[in-house]
Structure 1
Amino acid sequence: MNTTPSVFGAVHLGYIVIETDRFTDWRRFGTDAIGMHHDAVDTGLMRFRLDDQQCRFLLRRGPAEDVVATGWHVDDHTSFEQIEARIRAHGVPVTGGTAEEAALRGVERLLRFPGPKGITQEIYTTPRIASEPLRMLASGWVTGDYGMGHIAITSTKPTQLRSYFNNVLDARLTDYIDETISGVKLKIRFLRVNERHHSIAIAAVRGLPIDPIRTRVQHLNIQAATLDDVAQSYQRVHELGFDMALSVGQHTNDKELSYYARTPSGFEWEVGWNPVIIDESTWQPSTHQGISIWGHTPVGQTIIDKLDQFRHGGLSLARREDTVTALSGTGIHDD
């Protein structure tokens, strides 16, 4: 239960940190396929831009092949200090970012603290504006007041994860989706921290404590400025030989039209267009049946892929999922 004033609306998904050893493939994926702006920092670091901010994706060399941190832009120092106070009040360690770390992310006043599934959470103020103009194939990306997209996570403890983001960021439940894939029943919770339909999605297998996804994240999303940008990047992904996970389709809940490509690190990357914007005065959570109105069909999935998912699900039974217990006390009851 938060005792400080709500920070809802003052928080926006700002950047993602990815650890990978596949720099050559990632550069081709990010610039030539998806269409983002690329900046080489040094031999072990590179960045992608979506807009005038210096960094939206920071890639660093390492073995994880996964997302290792998410950065949340906090509008003002008062809200920043409220979030910091909440974390410290629960006895969770908070570490200040160094000047070099803040510079790499293109931000000021950087703090980090533990997050669910080992994904470090970072908060910052005042993103720095790049001096160089954008050089990218896309005409633009939708960021602004709603942040830069969303992150989707699979979990064996979805209620605790929802509580974590409620306790830290005052996240609100937007809606649910019930879906059955290959006989496995999933429930997906969609959380928002501003008027973007969701900045966090949490998927769980109903009735079974398994996590079928190897990576900490299932997918990332960015929002294209135009439908042409979606279509053209979809074509480039195919032509450059990157794997497509799901074909073009439209979601039931946020109505976003999108496709899912598979990144060089293995998790998926959704490029979407035109999701609904939440009206806080009228919105009520509801449950949708199935993730898509049309499309989003699996592309090139083999029986080996399915068996691999079952193998990872089995391995997850023996693996303890970290929810940062001090910050994920429930106070929330859902199905």
Structure 2
Amino acid sequence: MTTHDAPSVFGAVRLGYIVIETNRFADWRRFGTDAIGMHHDALSRDLMRFRLDDRECRFLIRRGPAEDVVATGWHIDDHAAFERIEARIRAHGAPFTVGTDEEAALRGVGRLLRFPGPKGITQEISTTPAKSAEPLRMLATGFVTGDGGMGHIALTSTKPMQTRGYFNTVFDARLTDYIDETFGGVKFKIRFLRVNERHHSIAIAAARGLPVDAVRTRVQHLNVQAATLDDVAQSYQRVHELGFDMALSVGQHTNDKELSYYARTPSGFEWEVGWNPVVVDETTWEPTTYQGISIWGHLPVGRTIIGKLAEFQAGARSLGRPESTVPSLSGAGVPDD
């Protein structure tokens, strides 16, 4: 379903990089390199980057108080698609800024446009990502990026139809499927959206009938796709041995069949390392609703009553904190199919 008559940009969009703001630089370096196994580049006291492949930047870490994802970067295949998206932003009257040369260089990209996104996460589009000549130095054997982009981002939302409408308006995102799941006695519906062949680049989880958000951070989790099953197993072991918190044990999802685990980052949101998700065939795919997120595994690790109380408190606080949905770009939202 699209909300405009212009040519679709579906398939020309892929998740390219993530910007994270934190004051826990030492912990993030250990987490990214020694636990997850990524390549690290120190740029200054206040900036560092992680690489997954030959691209200069996949994660830009900057010093600051947010302890959260502050921007999501989308690589656009060509200038024509970039300009179609820019035209949509203009036509809907949403504010935007052209990235400076310095901002683009930090992200390893050419053209850069920045505009507001759901939950206060700045959305960025760019072209011509730069490749690094420096060989990768990382514990992982590799990560899967390519035509599907570098993984996915998962959000919780009190306004899921508007959030889905946003990504539909901007990127022609398509619904892949739904999952119905119960967490702590609360029923959730999770919507999975794709912008290319990757099963999903965006997941949106919402409590049914309850306008609460039990997650403190803007994102619930980020995902990277490991090249091999051994990479998943070895990074899982490193996370444990280095003393980082594990959120969910190894398991396999019902919808995309990805085998994964979830660690907790130094900033508090979760980080999923997965392997071998299905690739969507656009000629045959039909959205389906699955019951439960996992075929097996994905069991909570180290859950305590204190953690449950923190979730309850975060949910209660969210009642008095209106969620940003960027109305100019989300419109009336997209009703469930």
Q: What is the alpha-carbon distance in structure 1 between the residues aligned to residue 329 and residue 294 of structure 2? A: 33
- 1: distance between equivalents of 2:302 and 2:333? 42
1:190-233: per-residue Cα shift (whole Å, max 9, x none)? 00000100000000000100000000000000000000000000
Pick aligned residue for 2:332 from 322, 330, 333: 330
Corresponding residue of 2:83: 81
Alignment of 1:176-325 (within 5 A): 176-325=178-327
Q: Secondary structure at 2:111's aligned position in 1?
A: strand
Report if the CA contact (8 A) 2:179-2:289 is conserved: yes
Query: 1:273, 1:170 → 2: CA distance?
Result: 26
TM-score normalised according to structure 2 size: 0.99
C-alpha separation between the residues in 2 aligned to 1:33 and 1:329?
Answer: 41
> How much does 1:4 deviate?
1.4
Whole-Å separation in 1 of the counterparts to 2:71 and 2:30:
22
Number of the residue aligned with 2:116? 114
Q: Is the 8 A contact 2:163 2:333 kept in 1?
A: no
1:330 positional shift:
2.9
Return the offset for 1:331.
5.5
Cα displacement (A) at 1:129: 0.4
Give the deviation of 1:38 after TM superposition: 0.1
Aligned in 2, Cα 1:331/1:32: closer, same or farther, shift over 3 Å? closer
Q: Any idea what the Cα deviations from partners look like across 1:28-71, whole Å, max 9, x if unmatched? A: 00000000000000000000000000000000000000000000
Q: Please, what TM-score do these two structures have when normalized by structure 1? A: 0.99
Q: How many Å separate the matches in 2 of 1:325 and 1:12?
A: 23
Partner letter of residue 279 of structure 2? I
Which runs of structure 2 are paired with 1:52-67 in the superposition (5 Å)?
52-67=54-69
Question: Hey, what does 1:13 align to over in structure 2?
Answer: 15
Rounded to whole Å, the distance in 1 between the matches of 2:333 and 2:186 is 28
Partner of 1:170: 172
Partner-residue secondary structure (3-state), 1:307: helix
Q: Give structure 2 stretches of 5+ with no counterpart.
A: none
CA RMSD after TM alignment? 0.7
CA distance in 2, matches of 1:149, 1:77: 23
Distance 1:2 1:307 in 2: 44
| Cα deviation, residue 332, structure 1 | 2.1
- Following the alignment from structure 1 to structure 2, what is the Cα–Cα distance between the partners of residues 105 and 230? 27
Q: Distance between the aligned counterparts of 1:33 and 1:164, measured in 2?
A: 34
Corresponding position of 1:159: 161
Give the drift of 1:131: 1.5
Shift of 1:181: 1.3
Give the equivalent residue in structure 2 for 1:26: 28
Query: Aligned-pair distance for 1:105?
Result: 0.2
CA distance in structure 2 between the partners assigned to 1:143 and 1:172 by the alignment: 20
Matched position secondary structure for 1:333: coil
- Determine helix, strand or coil for the equivalent of 2:301: coil
Cα distance change on mapping 1:113 and 1:157 into 2, 3 Å: same
Quote the residue 2:102 is aligned against: 100
**For 2:287 and 2:56, how far apart are their aligned partners in 1?**
35
Residue 182 of structure 1: how far off its partner (Å):
1.6
CA distance in 2, matches of 1:194, 1:201: 14
Q: Give the C-alpha shift of residue 3 in structure 1.
A: 2.5
